[in-house]
Structure 1
Amino acid sequence: MKKDTENKLLNKNTKPTSMRILVYDFLAAQKVALSLSEIEEQLHFADRITIYRTLKTFEEKGIIHGVQENSTTKYILCSDDCGEDTHKDWHLHFYCKMCKQTTCREHIIFSEGMAGEFRIDEVRLFAKGICEDCLNDSLQ
């Protein structure tokens, strides 16, 4: 797994340091977007500033994307086709008001073709509601 992570980082022109490998592997194991504080809680042995710098580097290199949730940024891995120049982050980000988790809904997208004769550099699709897990739990 470490070699896979190293290769993924190298493919994104990112030097695979121990901290970067640790943060990447941690984020790869998550299904929801996490804030810096949430990541820091789990990687409590690591320095907050180093984690923050790693996240910023990952964002610049197209490895993760930040999701703005109220006044907090949460981070989640990008798809492999994102890069330094363009993030293919044109899908819905969904926040569940019950479990307080943010997830990517990649099947709900804004198509680049909708731009027409103008250029769109960034799209932020964000919705709040109740996820399917919480809805199912509330019905039982």
Structure 2
Amino acid sequence: MTIASKTLKQFNLRHTNGREEVLDLFLNAGRALAHHDVENGLGPAHDRVTIYRTLRTFLDKGLLHKVLDDEGGTKYALCRETCADGHHHHDHIHFKCEACGQTTCLDDVVIPVITLPKGYDRKETNLLIQGVCQGCNQ
């Protein structure tokens, strides 16, 4: 049994080859992926709408989370173990490389505490840092 199929089972998701292939793509990428990245990674045999539905299901079940993008597009990244069905906990930093365009989660970097004015209720904190990644810096 593959890691992807074990993960689908753990999240009580019906196993299909398409879902396993999408999840494998994220497991091997190590970075956030946009819908078109998933399409390109899977090839023409996969339907655009099915990929969208798979991403939406993974998002709803707590397997993926949305990532900020400075270009207005949506990217997705694997959740950490702390997420569950409909409850995401992603107060972490995302880093977008200006050279290669890849966005990665920096889970070990702590976002400073931000005190909001009275009457504001924080749901989630996102921070996008732009610069040059380790790979491009070499």
Same fold judged by TM-score > 0.5?
Answer: yes
Q: Which runs of 4+ in 1 moved over 6 A?
A: 113-118
Relative to its length, the structure with more strand (as a share) is 1
> Matched residues in 1 for 2:95 and 2:36: separation?
20
Deviation larger for 11-20 or 38-47: 11-20
> Matched residues in 1 for 2:5 and 2:114: separation?
36
Structure 2 partner of 1:129: 131
Q: Does 1:48 align with 2:67?
A: no
Shift of 1:119: 5.6
Deviation larger for 26-35 or 81-90: 81-90
Contact (CA 8 Å) 2:89, 2:124: kept in 1 or not?
Answer: no
> Matched residues in 2 for 1:115 and 1:17: separation?
45
Q: Give CA-to-partner distance per residue, 1:118-137, whole Å, 9 cap, x none.
A: 8632111111111122222x
- Residue 78 of structure 2 aligns with an amino acid whose one-letter code is L
Shift of 1:57: 0.4
Unaligned runs of 5+ in 2: none
Structure 2 partner of 1:16: 15
Percent of pairs with identical residues: 34
| 1:61–1:101 CA distance, 2 compared to 1 (3 A) | same
Unaligned runs of 5+ in 1: none
Contact (CA 8 Å) 2:92, 2:110: kept in 1 or not?
Answer: yes
Normalized against structure 1, the TM-score is what? 0.84
Deviation larger for 88-97 or 118-127: 118-127
Counting matched residue pairs gives 134
Deviation larger for 118-127 or 55-64: 118-127
Structure 2 partner of 1:66: 66
Normalized against structure 2, the TM-score is what? 0.85
- Residue 132 of structure 2 aligns with an amino acid whose one-letter code is I
RMSD across aligned C-alpha pairs, in angstroms?
2.2
